[in-house]
Amino acid sequence: MATVRTIASHVWPLGTTFDEDDVLQLGGCDARELAREFGTPAYIVVEDDLRTRARAFLDAFARHADDHEVHFASKSFPCTAVLRVMAEEGLACDVASGGELALALRAGFDPARVHLHGNAKSEQELRDAVAAGIGDIVIDNLDEFEKLERVIEPGSRQRVLLRIAPGVSPDTHPKISTGGPNTKFGFSIRDAWAAIERAEASDRFALDGLHMHIGSQIFDLEPFRAALEAMAQLGEFRTWNLGGGLGVAYTHEQKAPSIEDYVRTKVELVEEVIGPGRRIADEPGRALVAHSTVTLYTVQSIKRNVATWVGVDGGMSDNLRPMLYGARYEAHVVGKPGGGTVCHLTGKHCESGDVLVHDADLNDPRPGDVIATPVTGAYGYAMSNNYNGVPRPPVVFVKDGDARVVVRRETYDDLFGRDVDPDA
């Protein structure tokens, strides 16, 4: 009987273990076998991790707020199978484009429990959303009012929220700070008064409340207070949507607030700053999906220069976050836990910036070794691309020792699948 021990670090998906040979087991599946069967790079998603975190959000809100709605921010992992899990677990859905709306509908979300965001929605996206019977449209700017009015049938009203930028910047990377004094998102407090007046004056809108999303990867929850205090002056509304933002630990020394702490803090702040009995909506993305996923790579080359460079078969085409905003990850040689070789884990792309992990500490990496990088569920698949003609990796769900492909690997045919042949 094999003995297994649970990996201590909280960065791995829930239920992750090592077997007796120190080989990583994800959702009961051997990581080396997953790499052999599905190839690398591959996104391995532990389904139980997704479901457990979805339930944790729902349970925490049920404990703390009578009237609430938890939306999955689909941008964080816009994959039908992931969306389907969130729909099955009873979450609502936040989409930020016509494409994300199409994915949400395909995954089975009730359109009445979907809402549409975006700072540059097209009239067609608004038309499609209204035609689908979307729950809320979150109006972002003055130009959107007329566009939206044009696509709403006379005599009917579309429920809307107004996105407000409360002028508060949490402690996070500037590129994912979205509610400060000079942001492209939403109405400033100064402009919010006119926006509220405009929405209330229209016979096509039913203004239900206000929305804010101050940023992402937030560890310190205190800025939510200042943000709500800024919003509170804008008046009485039924719904207060507080956006997402809960940060996650990408490395073992980081410790993020728990889902329970985040939800309790937000609910208490609404009760204290806005008042009791409000409908509270939230839109977590990262904290729902980040930990569910581990990306597997294979080492292709090792170069000893001033530093040691370990090259793998993926990179900025499957995880753009390190290059976009210096996001930090850990890496692990499957079957060889621990460290000893400090090296840069690089991708295969033609950019010097294509480094997945600077100063990774790996245990004697060799060509052919499988490398695992945890916490890649959020905004990895979402921002994947075909730079250098690299086909995008598959998404593989693992659960109770079984693995199933939910998105197949792209092929070279996919790379020219949209070409229009001039002779055809």
Ligand X SMILES: Cc1ncc(COP(=O)(O)O)c(C=O)c1O
Stretch that binds ligand X, among 35-43, 222-230, 253-261, 284-292 (CB under 6 A): 284-292
What backbone phi and psi angles, to 5 degrees, belong to 131? -65, -30
Residue of the chain from 158, 216, 346, 373 that contacts ligand X (CB under 6 A): 216
Token duo for residue 116: 């549409």
Residue 141 pairs in a beta bridge with none
Contact call for residue 374 and ligand X (CB under 6 A): no
Q: Which of 89, 283, 313, 369 binds ligand X (CB under 6 A)?
A: 283
Would you say 119 or 308 has its CB closer to ligand X?
Answer: 119
The Cα 399–Cα 100 span in angstroms is 26
**What does the per-residue mask of binding to ligand X show for 166-205, with x meaning CB under 6 A?**
------------x---------------------------
Residue 76 interacting with ligand X (CB under 6 A): yes
Between 321 and 392, whose beta carbon lies closer to ligand X? 321
**8 Å CB contact between 117 and 95:** yes
CA 101 – CA 125 distance, rounded (Å) = 9
Q: What is the number of residues in the chain?
A: 424
Cβ contacts of 120 within 8 Å, gap of 6 or more: none
Q: 209 or 285, CB closer to ligand X? A: 285
* Measured distance CA(368)–CA(411) in Å, rounded: 22
Confirm or reject binding of residue 69 to ligand X (CB under 6 A): no
CB-wise, 244 or 347, nearer to ligand X?
244
CB distance 317 to 388 below 8 Å: yes
Instruction: Check: CB of residue 105 under 8 Å from CB of residue 74.
Output: no
Query: Please, which of residues 82-101 interact with ligand X by CB under 6 A?
Result: 94
By CB under 6 A, name the one of 286, 291, 332, 348 that touches ligand X.
286
> Which element (helix H / strand E) includes 345?
strand 341-346
Would you state the structure tokens that stand for residue 208, as one six-digit string? 């239900």
Q: What does the CA dihedral 57, 62, 63, 65 come to, rounded to 10 degrees?
A: 110
- Which of these ranges, 16-24, 73-81, 295-303, 404-412, lies near ligand X under the rule CB under 6 A? 73-81
- Residue 59 makes CB contacts below 8 A (sequence gap 6+) with none
Query: Closest approach of Cβ 9 to ligand X, in Å?
Result: 22
Among 64, 68, 117, 399, binds ligand X (CB under 6 A): 117
User: What value, to the nearest 5°, has the Cα angle with vertex 361 and ends 359 and 362?
Assistant: 130
Q: Quick one: 158 or 178, whose CB is closer to ligand X?
A: 178
User: Which of the stretches 129-137, 150-158, 239-247, 311-319 binds ligand X when contact is defined by CB under 6 A?
Assistant: 239-247
Q: Could you tell me how many residues of this chain bind ligand X (CB under 6 A)? A: 17
Query: Alpha-carbon distance 121 to 98, whole Å?
Result: 9
Question: With contact defined as beta carbons under 8 Å apart, do 289 and 43 qualify?
Answer: no
Q: Choose the stretch contacting ligand X; rule: CB under 6 A; options: 30-38, 57-65, 105-113, 238-246.
A: 238-246
- Indicate which single residue of 135, 223, 245, 322 sits in contact with ligand X (rule: CB under 6 A): 245
As measured in angstroms, the least distance from the Cβ of 41 to ligand X is 22
Which span (22-30, 189-197, 277-285, 339-347) binds ligand X, by CB under 6 A? 277-285
- Asked about 79 being catalytic, the answer comes back as no
Q: Which residues are identified as catalytic?
A: 350
Give the binding site for ligand X (CB under 6 A). Answer: 73, 75-76, 94, 117, 178, 213, 216, 243-246, 283-287
